[in-house]
A and B are shown apart, each in its own frame.
Chain A
């Protein structure tokens, strides 16, 4: 069977179709009455920010998000280890 490390080092970037989920409440994607065409176009002089980027930049942003998430998980684990119970205290 393939060792896990092999998978952990493999990274793929794909186009994901992001659809907001609101299973517990109102689904804003499906409720036409709540759709507002005036806000359907993003960032037209309304204080919203957007920046045109290349596909390479998009890929880099995606990878940076993944790397940041991984670092945060490790940082959290370190933090937990520094404040959690000491094994030697639980014989």
Chain B
């Protein structure tokens, strides 16, 4: 498919796919701290932060698939490498959880580049470790020390081929270049009314409020 297998000694690059990198999830409301005497305590992170001291804690770590997001020049010397988690496509794009026909899949896969900026499609490939359709979830990042990742190149199952890599590079840049804005700001009052049927909480901007014509003066 859209993958190639790099030489085991090849340096890290954006678009490298790893299977089995650690994802850490931690609740800042309940941190299971390990004290020096070996006892455990449940502490709020806020309290740990106030103490300005590092602590040891019990955390859950889950092995996940991930793709290198850090740019090529930084992958050579940056102390940390940023990766985006790769998840099952149906879990990232829930609109297609019931999709079955090739025609429907075709529409989703080809149109996603134009419409949805939050994920990047990765087709199945048993050699890579993807038994089903996958997606890079740009919303989910993880960080691994560069030297650790270099040591773990045995977990690098593939990298994107040049065409896919170029597309990925543009898509990830596009995702992080987005800025939040109220998309309804330019709608006219009638268009806004239609918009609010779908998003009833939306408030109009001053220029979107119809002004009533002043009543004619009476003598």
A residues with a Cβ closer than 8 A to B are: 1-5, 7-8, 10-20, 28-29, 34-36, 39-43, 48-55, 57-59, 61-66, 68-70, 73-74, 76-78, 80-81, 83-88, 90-91
| Residues of chain A within 8 A of B47, CB atoms compared | 42-43, 48-50
Known contacts being A39-B52, A74-B91, is A65 close to B60, with CB within 8 Å?
Answer: yes
14 residue pairs A–B, Cβ–Cβ below 8 Å: A3-B130, A7-B20, A11-B61, A12-B62, A17-B56, A18-B54, A43-B43, A50-B41, A53-B32, A55-B58, A58-B40, A62-B26, A73-B137, A85-B116
Q: Are B59 and A14 in contact (CB under 8 A)?
A: yes
Please, which residues of chain B bring their CB within 8 A of the CB of A52? 39-41
Known contacts A52-B40, A87-B111, A18 near B55 by CB under 8 Å = yes
Q: Note all chain A residues with C-beta closer than 8 A to B93.
A: 77, 81
Q: Which of B68-76, B121-129, B174-182, B185-193 contacts A (4 or more CB under 8 A)?
A: B121-129
Residue in A3, A39, A54, A83 whose beta carbon sits within 8 Å of that of B50 in the complex? A39
Interface string of B149-161 (1 = CB under 8 A from A): 0000000010000
Residues in B with CB closer than 8 Å to A15 are 34, 56-59
Task: Report the number of A-B residue pairs with Cβ-Cβ less than 8 Å.
Answer: 189
Q: Is the CB of A19 within 8 A of B54?
A: yes
Given contacts A12-B61, A55-B40, A65-B25, contact A40 B19 (CB under 8 A): no
Residues of the A chain whose Cβ atoms lie less than 8 Å from the Cβ of B64: 7-8
Per a CB cutoff under 8 Å, which of B19, B56, B92, B104 touches A16? B56
Please, which residues of chain B bring their CB within 8 A of the CB of A35?
52-53
Q: Which residues of B contact A36 (CB under 8 A)?
A: 52
Complex CA–CA separation, A62 to B33 (angstroms): 10
CA distance A88 to B43 in the complex (A): 49
Please give me the residue from chain B that is nearest to A78 by CB atom: B94
20 additional A-B residue pairs with CB within 8 Å, beyond A2-B129, A16-B24, A88-B107 = A2-B19, A8-B63, A11-B61, A11-B62, A13-B58, A16-B56, A16-B58, A16-B61, A18-B57, A19-B54, A39-B52, A41-B51, A50-B47, A52-B40, A53-B40, A55-B40, A77-B91, A81-B95, A85-B115, A90-B115
